Amino acid sequence: MKRLLRSGKVFVAVAASAVLAFQAGAPASAEDVRARSAPPIDFQLPFTCGQQWRLDTWAHAPALDMVREPDQVGTEGAVLVAAADGVVNMSFSHANAGNVIQINHGGGYFTTHLHLQSRSVGVGTTVTQGQTIGRVGKTGPTSNGHPHLHFELGYDANGNGEASWGTSTAERVRPWFDGVEYGQSNGRTWRNVARDCGGTPPTSCSGVNLDFSAYATIRSGSSGDLVKAAQCRLKDSGNDPGALDGAFGPNVQTATRGFQADVGLGVDGIIGAKTWTALLSHGSTPTLQSGSSGADVSRLQRALTAALGSTVGIDGSFGPETEQAVRTYQSSRALGADGIAGPATWGALQDGK
């Protein structure tokens, strides 16, 4: 399958390569394993610092095709680096996918890279984050002769020591780079994505107030600080609302609909309690309990305030009030009420429950 992109005056054919079956008999998808939870590994975009890339799902979400910005100039031959520390699990030439490298990052997570111009690491090689592993190319007939990186994050759901790739039933999950989720659905594009070389996950919410005693329903025509808070969280989720101007216009409505579709909520373009809960909790899912502190605790407190419809003090400190709020939430959602925010509690919040 090919799509034609127009970038300035340049027309290029982009291959939706992973739609084609590279492998037969792949096990069931692992998307349900890590559907909306950030992996416990700080993956970074697998390219050189300072470069900007365009990411597309085409018709093979959550897999991504990546080309250089602007105008895709410099894609072919671009240096490819390891997205995180790991050990090379596969390095070979495939009849359809061309040069392929798969890296085992531990914890069941694997990254797979297709259509490479060259491979500079072999099976068993230990690599560190940012280490060169090859160069981007257009090898293999399913590249359709168009230079790009086809990238998949996989989770070894069946425990066989690798992650299947290249098919809709493969063990691939949504990629996260620098704390931001991508690959949520087909037909999505992210522009000017760059690797965070400073080591701190980027956020669109710096300087934006996210802490409110209540998160009222907002919709088209709404305005103010609550809208601005929603805008920055939508942007962090990979749904671009346009300028962070505090005005709920068409772009915000479209971004809201995209987010609702991503997390499985009713798509109405209105940010009510369920959408607020999912939006405010979006991100990593660390286990938090009495004594925990920091930005993740604040994120939990905001989400609980939205979910419960009552104020939870947002101070970044997991004290008795937060523990009780977690227990109340868990009891009301038929979860084990232990007062600890673990994967099940985060999962329910991120589903908007």
Each residue's pLDDT, cut to its tens digit, for the chain (353 residues) gives: 233 232 332 323 334 443 333 443 344 445 555 545 678 888 999 998 778 899 999 999 999 999 998 889 889 999 899 999 999 999 999 999 999 999 999 999 999 999 999 999 999 999 988 888 999 999 999 999 999 999 999 999 899 999 999 998 899 999 998 878 888 889 998 876 777 665 444 566 878 999 999 999 999 999 999 999 999 999 888 788 999 999 999 999 999 998 898 888 999 999 999 999 999 998 878 889 999 988 889 999 999 999 999 999 999 899 999 999 999 999 999 999 999 999 899 989 999 99
Residues in the chain: 353
Contact residues for 216 (Cβ-Cβ < 8 A; gap 6+): 226
pLDDT at 32: 53
| Cβ atoms 332, 258 nearer than 8 A | no
| CA pair distance 199, 235, nearest whole angstrom | 20
| CA pair distance 44, 31, nearest whole angstrom | 20
CATH architecture, range 52-194: Distorted Sandwich (2.70)
| Cβ atoms 110, 101 nearer than 8 A | no
Could you tell me the end-to-end alpha-carbon distance of the chain, in angstroms, rounded to an integer? 38
| CA pair distance 98, 103, nearest whole angstrom | 16
Positive or negative, the CA dihedral 194, 56, 36, 268 is positive
Angle at 149 between CA 146 and CA 151, to 5 degrees: 140
pLDDT at 18: 38
Around 57, how many Cα atoms within 13 Å sit in the side-chain half-sphere? 22
pLDDT at 204: 62
Angle at 268 between CA 263 and CA 274, to 5 degrees: 50
| Residue environment code for 327-345, b if the CB has 16+ CB neighbours within 10 A, otherwise e | bbbbeeeebeeebbbbeeb
| CA pair distance 309, 337, nearest whole angstrom | 19
Name the segment(s) of the chain with CATH classification 2.70.70.10: 52-194
Encoded tokens for 78: 């671009």
Which helix (H) or strand (E) covers residue 155, if one does?
strand 149-155
Name the segment(s) of the chain with CATH classification 1.10.101.10: 222-351
Strands (E), 27-148: 52-56, 64-68, 79-81, 86-94, 98-106, 109-116, 118-119, 126-127, 132-135
Strands (E), 2-41: 2-7, 10-15
pLDDT at 22: 40
Cβ neighbours around 130 below 10 Å, total: 17
0.95 cut: is pTM over it? no
| Cβ atoms 164, 29 nearer than 8 A | no
**What backbone phi and psi angles, to 5 degrees, belong to 299?**
-60, -40
**What backbone phi and psi angles, to 5 degrees, belong to 207?**
85, 0
- H-type alpha helices, the chain: 225-236, 250-263, 273-281, 295-308, 320-332, 343-350
| CA pair distance 80, 131, nearest whole angstrom | 8
Nearest Cα residue to 288 out of 339, 328, 353, 212 = 339
pLDDT at 275: 98
* Beta-sheet pairing, 109-116 with 149-155: antiparallel
Q: Which CATH number applies to 222-351?
A: 1.10.101.10
Peptide bond into 70 cis (omega under 30): yes
Radius of gyration of the chain (CA): 21
